[in-house]
Amino acid sequence: MFLRAAGVVAAARGGVSAGALRRAATAASAPPDSSKLPPAGSPGPSKPCGHGLEISSGVPCFEIVNIAGAGLGAIATRDIACGELVVAETPTMMLQAGEFSVQTAKFNAQFNNLSRAQKRAVLRLSDCWRMAGKRRSLEGILRTNGMGCSSDSDDGVLCLEISRFNHSCAPNCEQSWDGTALQERVHACSAIQAGQELCLSYIDVRAPRAERAHRLREGYRFNCRCAACSETACSRASDARRASLQQLGRDLPMVGARDPAAGIKVVSDMLLLYDQEGIDLHTLRKQACYYAFQLALHAGPAAWASGWAEQAYRHSRLCCGEHHPETVWLLGYARDPHSHPALWTPAFEVCNPGKHRSAMDPALKVYALAWISAISLVLSMGMVSERSTVHVRDARLKAD
Ligand SMILES: [Zn+2]
């Protein structure tokens, strides 16, 4: 299976392929478990909108309406601030990883346990795999609307309301999964005006236009007409920027492993390209800053690491909310960078900050701490030696 994609996940796994569900580049703090689903008949989607990353109002900020040429979609009914929670939804179905042929019986069992109203709502969702003259199938619906909830597994969820959000290669919303609250959430990743359509990304939007078009046709059978795909005048520059983002993302682990300072420069370049290209996804920026944080732990003074962790934390607040487990972990790293236990494996946690912290074997922790101490000692000796050299040089200059 694959799930709605946005960001690094699809790129890392080779992107969209037929027979999979939409993957989200969202982070999870726990894998989905169908036994934790709400009982049949319980209310499904939609918690109220909120402002400032908290749910503070019961007034919905969007409505699902017909959109010319795009079926149903979500339209903002009022202005929405960047980082505002648009919707938090309890999934109607949990989709464990595995081929559909293997999982079909489990999916059917879950579906059969839903209330009649939920079944009707599921069967009203889009099925881009429907054959001409045939009815929608559960498999086709799950493939079309399933969303990934973890960056390191193929597990996913089916959400009735969030499934209605259409795709854009320059989305103004992004989704995240909270494995503790068992909720899929959508936050605005830029300021949105009343009347604008709310869009998510189904694929890794950092691909050039032709590649995005191929993935969307192959995975979802539509031709994208978003602003990024329709803009002809700037398409060449846009493609160049997105191709650079892809390449920098691929290069980063190797560059960072060889030279942490050079890796941090790559992250800075990526952040600049996100700005220039108008890709507002804070999930991607959070991951980049978190990577830089881990490299900074190797590369220099704790203040650098703290600064990158602080940036990652700010992006996490905007894309996941103040109380999301990852936001909380990142705040902890910003306050105390050396509390990070995986200093020696920057790539290890980049998609799931904090996830492996409690799961790490105690012996491994001792090993990691020993490495941290050794590296810190070497770095501090290097800095002392460099400072001494500078002092000597300064003294000579003064003497001269
Ligand atoms: Zn597009």
**Rounded to a whole number, what is the distance in angstroms from the first to the last CA of the chain?**
71
What is residue 285's predicted lDDT score, i.e. its pLDDT? 97
What is residue 73's predicted lDDT score, i.e. its pLDDT? 96
Ligand 1 mean position, distance from CA 239 (Å): 12
Beta bridge partners of 72: 66
Closest CA to 248 of 277, 279, 278, 269: 269
Ligand 1 mean position, distance from CA 171 (Å): 9
Beta bridge partners of 198: 74
Ligand 1 mean position, distance from CA 227 (Å): 7
Ligand 1 mean position, distance from CA 386 (Å): 50
Cα(116)–Cα(170) distance, rounded to whole angstroms?
A: 37
Ligand 1 mean position, distance from CA 220 (Å): 12
Q: Give alpha helix (H) positions in the chain.
A: 8-12, 100-112, 116-123, 138-145, 209-220, 227-230, 235-258, 260-277, 282-299, 302-320, 325-335, 362-399
Neighbours of 362 (CB within 10 A): 7
Ligand 1 mean position, distance from CA 34 (Å): 33
What is residue 150's predicted lDDT score, i.e. its pLDDT? 67
Ligand 1 mean position, distance from CA 203 (Å): 10
Q: How many CA atoms lie within 13 Å of 26's alpha carbon, on the beta-carbon side?
A: 38
Ligand 1 mean position, distance from CA 226 (Å): 4
What is residue 26's predicted lDDT score, i.e. its pLDDT? 33
Residue-by-residue pLDDT tens, the chain, 400 positions: 545 643 332 222 222 222 334 433 333 333 333 333 333 323 222 233 333 344 445 678 999 999 988 889 999 999 999 999 999 999 999 988 776 667 788 889 999 999 999 999 999 999 999 888 889 999 999 999 999 876 666 789 999 999 999 999 999 999 999 988 999 999 999 999 999 999 999 999 999 999 999 999 999 999 999 989 986 656 889 999 999 999 999 999 999 999 999 999 999 999 999 999 999 999 999 999 999 999 998 776 777 899 999 999 999 999 999 999 999 999 999 999 888 876 545 444 443 444 444 333 444 444 444 444 444 444 444 443 443 333 433 333 343 3
**Largest Cα span, the chain:** 91
Ligand 1 mean position, distance from CA 224 (Å): 4
Beta bridge partners of 167: 200
Closest CA to 162 of 321, 43, 4: 4
What is residue 234's predicted lDDT score, i.e. its pLDDT? 66
- One-letter amino acid for residue 17 of the chain: S
Q: Which helix (H) or strand (E) holds 73?
A: strand 71-76
Ligand 1 mean position, distance from CA 104 (Å): 31
Cα(291)–Cα(13) distance, rounded to whole angstroms?
A: 18
DSSP 144-162: HH-EE--TTS--EEE-TTG
Neighbours of 71 (CB within 10 A): 11
Ligand 1 mean position, distance from CA 229 (Å): 4
Helices 260-277, 282-299: inter-axial angle, 10-degree rounding: 160
Ligand 1 mean position, distance from CA 313 (Å): 29
Ligand 1 mean position, distance from CA 302 (Å): 40
Ligand 1 mean position, distance from CA 225 (Å): 6
- One-letter amino acid for residue 259 of the chain: D
Ligand 1 mean position, distance from CA 205 (Å): 8
pTM of the predicted model as reported, rounded to 2 decimal places = 0.75
Ligand 1 mean position, distance from CA 13 (Å): 20
Are 196 and 75 spatial neighbours (Cβ–Cβ below 8 Å)?
yes
**DSSP class of 224:** -
Ligand 1 mean position, distance from CA 231 (Å): 10
Cα dihedral 91, 144, 224, 10 sign: positive
